[in-house]
């Protein structure tokens, strides 16, 4: 019974050390985060935009859209078509050949 008590004490000590190290690391991360956090959250609010700036931004956006549409029409990229279904892949050919061999069907020699 002495060995079991000693094993339980060692296990409890090891688990206690692990959890205390995790707790210390968590507290250190919390402290570092609070010390290095940005304090100026009020200055992050957006500034009011004047009507002339809004009009300029709208024109720039319209020009960007027109340019993107023109480039899309000039693009030579096209989607690839699927091959016809009559083409048999190498995997299908191998499986069919194996099945025919198992059934005793011999293929003619070319």
Q: What is the 3-state secondary structure (H, E, C) of the chain?
A: CHHHHHHHHHHHHHHHHHHHHHHHHHHHHHHHHHHHCCCCCHHHCCCCCCHHHHHHHHHHHHHHHHHHHHHHHHCCCCCCCCCCCCCCCHHHHHHHHHHHHHCCCCCCCC
How large a percentage of the chain has pLDDT more than 90?
40
pTM above 0.85, yes or no: no
User: Percent of the chain scored above 70 by pLDDT?
Assistant: 85
Can you give the residue ranges of every domain in the chain? 1-35
Condensed to tens digits (0 to 9), the pLDDT of residues 57-84 reads 999 999 999 999 988 888 777 777 776 6
């Amino acid at each position: 019974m002495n060995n079991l008590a000693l094993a339980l004490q060692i296990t409890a000590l090891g688990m206690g050390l692990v959890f205390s190290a995790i707790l210390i690391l968590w507290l250190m991360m919390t402290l570092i985060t609070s010390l290095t956090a940005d304090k100026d959250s009020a200055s992050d609010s957006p500034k009011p935009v004047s009507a002339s700036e809004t009009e300029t931004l709208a024109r720039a956006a319209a020009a960007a859209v027109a340019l993107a549409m023109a480039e899309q029409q000039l693009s030579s990229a096209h989607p690839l078509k699927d091959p016809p279904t009559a083409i048999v892949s190498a995997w299908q050919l191998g499986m069919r050949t194996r099945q025919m061999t198992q059934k005793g069907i011999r293929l003619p020699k070319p």
